[in-house]
Structure 1
Amino acid sequence: MSYPADYKYTKEHEWISVDGAKGLVGITDYAQNSLGDIVFVDLPKVGDKVEAGKIFGSVESVKAVSDLYSPVTGTVTEVNETLKDAPEKINADANATWMLKVDVSDAAELNGLLSAADYEKFVSEETGH
């Protein structure tokens, strides 16, 4: 699996792509692959606050329901509405399918996230592959 080098990653398998103080948040290819066919996504509303390391929603697959953890603290500015009717887009291309757009409150939080190489190493240690 490849992980975009310009993204930052959490150990809970979320990614964030940041442009200035704006962030796009999604789940990693590893996460969608582990979950299997995603059938439902529960996301916050525009204007909601998210907090680094705290749950902001969930994804439901045919196998399980999994919590989503925010990589940063901020305010939700947009939610990917297409996922309500087509959550399988995440399975098709997890790296390109964002869930939330967030105004990042504290850019320093990004320093605590994993680089693509570190995330790949973390996944291989977690899975033993």
Structure 2
Amino acid sequence: MKRHFQVTVNGETFQVEVEEHQEQAGQTIAPPVSLSPGPTVIAKPGRLAAAPPAPPRDNRTVTAPLPGTVVEVKVKPGQRVTAGQILIIIEAMKMENEIPAPTGGVVREVLVEAGATVSSGQPLVTLA
């Protein structure tokens, strides 16, 4: 008997067909799985934030350490922050991750808003 499954691995979706075989002892075993590429993008709820071109890496640009959804933006442009102060909270895998300021300074620009989906390495906040 053949069974069909849709599997997503690292954001890429595959249609999988598995054929079950019966052994003499009555146990079911499956042969190696064959994969056929399917659509590579799966729509998720929420808004996708447009990723601006990545600026040079420095202590003044705070980037997302992992992909997820922005739950809360805790700072505004012009606000003074200290090293370690929480700037943004990102939800990933049902866990909230606090993104701290790497150094003290003044928030120059907030590049995302609550509800936006961000990718790993995407700039979130720039400091002056």
TM-score by length of 2: 0.47
Say which structure, 1 or 2, has more relative contact order (CA 8 Å, 6+ apart): 1
Instruction: From the two aligned structures, give the one with the greater helix fraction.
Output: 1
TM-score in terms of structure 1 length:
0.47
Higher-Rg member (1/2): 2
